[in-house]
Structure 1
């Protein structure tokens, strides 16, 4: 196939498939943001969970990356990524619909909530690995960063409106009922994904014989470890997520119990604060046109770490009146998401450029094994540590660690500039 025909095909697919994929991703993000607010409220208010139990709930959502993260990448590279996302969305819809049903029959318990969180976590592993590996199949290479910025902009709009809407709904409805919004959103997501067309080779073309799963997994791990750009990013994102999870696990307890602000205020704080992420996604293309990727990533991490100071500070000043802590929480969330989204769009785009297309899922799974695998450990530690030394002192630990996450990015520009676009390794 000639280069001109290939480019034309890619442009056609990007124009026709990407908007529908973008819509599906937006629906998924809306549901996810509702869940991030409503699930802890179900545990805390409906089931009277303690600090450690909230940590276990967060861990249940993310521990699957440690358990199946690496094989998931090898499987997704063999499967149709679009079909994988559709099935994962359907599983999450069915399982989350069980929360209001169990609650209605007075059967909902922390045990059920943990089980539901684990199943949602497993489905999320497959969805997320396929999702981050899919963009190069629906847009031309030169548009990858722009596409990622658009996807992130809708994620941040969902992050801004989702928690605020969830907080308002929580005032009128019981938290288990609000979880039903997640289920509906995932149904919408699956419906739009079913209409997307892409350039991914069929499953038969990708099979390439009966390659052993272990060999495929190790190939992905070796590629990440052997690539200096991916190796540094893996360390930086892993440390960043660990300390961010430490902070975010305790944030509902900080708002609901330490400050006594209520679920509606929590939704508004998280929603308004994440407008910083929307600003980052809208401005990143222009920022990247002026600055190298390494500089952008380092600045984003520093901004996120410094902004997190507002969380324990708000807890320390809780006695001075509700307006001051709320203002600090909003500013902190705004700055943290601005920095985190700036870093995330840049690093995901760099990863997609340096990786062969037939290894995208394995690369993504290998990175996420480290990145997301650190989150259940951080969540359990947050619950345990928060119970022993208190929520606010534990938040200060999270802030201190987050400020160190930019260190592995130092000197990254030289490595990124010397990394040529990776060829497809498929034969």
Structure 2
């Protein structure tokens, strides 16, 4: 092999590379769009208003509402529909939605009441994220068909996570100059154009081999003979009866304890426990972003070495221990370094779960499984963030204690307990994630496949 070939980056396959490029551009556009809306609402629309924080939180609530209420049903349609057509259709829809909001944004802000502006923004964000609930499981199913090797699937998941992390490092710094230099309209237009790039990337990818097209047609014909509610409940029953998927979901929910607590409390931990100025808080986020990229890029190699199951339970144990150590930090530089190390195994285990999820899910159920898995984990992250804030603000307010000569306050106690629970989740994962046998093919005359058997141990 020539030196040039060794140096040339490989993104699994040419078709996957096209999909990755389109999604990378779209992810940067989404980061710019989300940051722009928050900045515009906070600094322009609600400037000096007491309801400013509530107005900004409405953007987050609109996003979460789409995930919670649209996501589970979207999976039923994704399993019925052609995946390529679904992806193309959602990119067109999202591009049109952002283009319409861009056109409206040329109207002077003072010409419309604040309530009308907020209603337009919330409706657009809700519709965009509702469309994403169709795009994400469709893309998941397409990648599953394109990438069949476990290590390659982990590598694909790692690239997706690294791309998402990078987008949120690049996007927000771009958003502020675009908004305050050229205006809201051009920042929104940037996102609309990113969907156009994604559309042409998907359209140019070869996603419809004859065999896959024939299989999709047969599944669609079978699905048409059943009702929507029957398909939805069949997906829920399949998930609930599959011990492997239930265990994987439970582990992911527990894993949200650490990141959920950090997202809410880390700024207070920096100023109170680390005695750092609020201006330095951004460096903690930067450490997490860089650590996330490093973990995502290394995950494929690690899964290739030790397997996805071992990566999952070892990652849980390691990240739990590191979170406990982080809770004991009192100096800012050490905390930054430890936070970087903490996020690496977190990202690696999240990446390793993708091939496990794929291996345990038959092709005809992938859309519905993803549409259950990700909304539940999103809800867990939200509840963890809310619970952490309540504990420190009310339940543990004023708490102070000591153990073995170590002093504990409310924030570091929440972090330490969350870390210990994540360690216990790692122990559970070691016992509860046996290697799944290949998913059986469903019988042609039944709506529900047999439950996959479980055999072996990691």
Distance 1:372 1:195 in 2: 32
Tell me how far 1:362 sits from its aligned partner. 1.2
Which TM-score applies when normalising by structure 1?
0.77
Partner of 2:378: 372
Distance 1:173 1:270 in 2: 27
Q: Go from structure 1 to structure 2 and tell me whether the alpha carbon gap of 1:254 and 1:54 turns closer, same or farther (over 3 Å shift).
A: farther
Tell me how far 1:310 sits from its aligned partner. 11
Distance 2:58 2:325 in 1: 25
Partner of 1:204: 217
Q: Go from structure 1 to structure 2 and tell me whether the alpha carbon gap of 1:45 and 1:113 turns closer, same or farther (over 3 Å shift).
A: same
Q: Deviations along 1:13-44, whole A, 9 cap, x unmatched?
A: x7342121121221222222223433332332
Q: How many equivalent residue pairs?
A: 401
Aligned counterparts, 1:235-384, within 5 A: 235-241=250-256, 244=259, 247-248=262-263, 261=279, 270=285, 273-301=288-316, 334-335=340-341, 337-374=343-380
Q: 2:141 aligns with which of 133, 149, 155?
A: 133
Q: Go from structure 1 to structure 2 and tell me whether the alpha carbon gap of 1:179 and 1:377 turns closer, same or farther (over 3 Å shift).
A: farther
Q: After superposing the two structures, state which structure 1 stretch, 31-40 or 224-233, moved more.
A: 31-40
Distance 2:18 2:65 in 1: 31
Partner of 1:233: 248
Q: 1:195 aligns with which of 189, 199, 204?
A: 204
Partner of 2:406: none
Distance 1:307 1:52 in 2: 34
Please identify the structure whose Cα radius of gyration is greater.
2
Partner of 2:30: 32
**Contact 1:53–1:383 (8 Å) recurs in 2:** no
Unaligned runs of 5+ in 1: 1-13, 318-323
Unaligned runs of 5+ in 2: 1-11, 271-275, 396-408, 445-458
Partner of 1:422: 439
Q: Secondary structure at the match of 2:440?
A: coil
Q: Secondary structure at the match of 1:285?
A: helix
Q: Secondary structure at the match of 2:441?
A: coil
Tell me how far 1:424 sits from its aligned partner. 3.3
RMSD: 4.1
Distance 1:178 1:252 in 2: 28
Partner of 2:398: none
Partner of 1:3: none
Q: 1:85 aligns with which of 79, 87, 96?
A: 87
Partner of 1:407: 424
Distance 1:45 1:309 in 2: 38
Tell me how far 1:311 sits from its aligned partner. 11
Distance 1:189 1:246 in 2: 34
Which TM-score applies when normalising by structure 2?
0.72
Q: Go from structure 1 to structure 2 and tell me whether the alpha carbon gap of 1:248 and 1:132 turns closer, same or farther (over 3 Å shift).
A: farther
Partner of 2:131: 123
Tell me how far 1:397 sits from its aligned partner. 8.6
Partner of 1:57: 59
Q: Secondary structure at the match of 1:197?
A: coil
Greater RCO (Cα-Cα under 8 Å, separation 6 or more): 1
Q: Go from structure 1 to structure 2 and tell me whether the alpha carbon gap of 1:278 and 1:197 turns closer, same or farther (over 3 Å shift).
A: same
Partner of 1:217: 232
Q: Go from structure 1 to structure 2 and tell me whether the alpha carbon gap of 1:72 and 1:88 turns closer, same or farther (over 3 Å shift).
A: same
Q: Go from structure 1 to structure 2 and tell me whether the alpha carbon gap of 1:148 and 1:116 turns closer, same or farther (over 3 Å shift).
A: same
Partner of 1:67: 69
Q: After superposing the two structures, state which structure 1 stretch, 329-338 or 64-73, moved more.
A: 329-338
**Contact 2:76–2:228 (8 Å) recurs in 1:** yes
Tell me how far 1:101 sits from its aligned partner. 3.9
Distance 2:347 2:14 in 1: 26
Q: 1:44 aligns with which of 42, 45, 51?
A: 42
